[in-house]
Amino acid sequence: MELSTKCQKCGKEAWVVFDVDLGEKTVRCRFCGNIGSADELPFNSNPEFLYKYRPHNSNSESWILNEELYFASPGSFNDPFDSKVMYTMDGTTEQKKRYMNKLLEVERPQLKKRERWKYINKALEDQILEKDYDNHVKRMQKRIDEYGVVSLSQKPDDLLMFSYYAKDHTGYCLKYKRSTENILSLARKVNYEPLYPKFSVYDFTLDNVGGLGDKVLLTKAKCWEHEAEWRISLANPAGRVIKSHHEILVGIILGCNMSDEHRAQIVALNKRREKPVGIFLAQKRKFEFGLEITTL
């Protein structure tokens, strides 16, 4: 989900949205519709850099020359547990009443208070929420899969990620710099857990649904912890490939198995940039299972 904050007008949860057309962040309230500035929001500059492992292919010009980012659908992730909606409908009668009352306030504001409570009591009696569980999960999963997500890492020298995502160390790793104004400021850290997070839909109010979405998009299995992943997520992006309005690329790390021909192609691409970035080489350490990053 997107970063969230309090709406300055109504005090409810508002999204911190990155306008890809303008290249700037704004605060948009989904309740009152107010749009405010994000200039005063705090920014934690740690980590200063994030990294993206890629194979060298026909998309290299897009990533290196044009500084474009690919926002993938969570439905395309290689981990079958990643970003999958699972939750319970466990909760007290009071929790269910509060949940349904908030829901109707948003979705059926025309209902008078007496009519609303009549509808709620009838729904609880007929167990409408429980009976609609499977369909509700499908609807939520569809919304999650419509998100665009960029996955990045804090680590520039991971053996497994060079193998997975940089085609057996024949690709490269892009080094990006975060700043308060660029889109990378929206990146958030992924949490790694030994068990799939179990929670009830009633643990979150409609005033604060961001926490529920974070459970889905920002929790992965403990075995992926070596990736030290950070994610940027956008709801319903206009396109999957989005060009950065700011200069974010500051370095390119070439895989230790990249051919001389492909190295020359990356160097040539870099020279075509208005401001070429540093090019580095990942080399195998002697007598260690590790990589050493040196200047090419």
pLDDT, residue 29, reads: 83
> Taken in order 32, 36, 40, 43, is the CA torsion positive or negative?
positive
Report the candidate in 213, 215, 232 with the shortest Cα–Cα distance to residue 17.
Answer: 232
Q: Is 80 exposed, middle or buried (0-12, 13-18, 19+ CB in 10 A)?
A: exposed
Number of domains comprising the chain: 2
pLDDT, residue 208, reads: 55
Residues whose CB falls within 8 Å of the CB of residue 214, separated by 6 or more in sequence, listed in order:
1, 188
Look up the domain containing 26 and give its range.
1-42
pLDDT, residue 239, reads: 82
Asked if residue 17 and residue 143 are part of one domain, the reply reads: no
pLDDT, residue 288, reads: 95
Asked if residue 6 and residue 67 are part of one domain, the reply reads: no
Asked if residue 55 and residue 13 are part of one domain, the reply reads: no
pLDDT, residue 205, reads: 59
Asked if residue 235 and residue 136 are part of one domain, the reply reads: yes
| Residue 225 parent element (H or E) | none
For the chain, the farthest-separated pair of C-alpha atoms sits apart, in whole angstroms, at: 76
Asked if residue 192 and residue 274 are part of one domain, the reply reads: yes
Supply the pTM of this predicted model.
0.86
Query: b/e for 50-63, b at 16 or more Cβ within 10 A?
Result: bbbbbebeeebeeb
- E-strand ranges in 20-141 read 24-29, 35-37, 49-54, 68-70
Low-confidence ranges of the chain (pLDDT < 50): none
pLDDT, residue 35, reads: 86
Asked if residue 157 and residue 34 are part of one domain, the reply reads: no
In this structure, are residues 156 and 78 in contact, taking their beta carbons and an 8 Å threshold? Answer: no
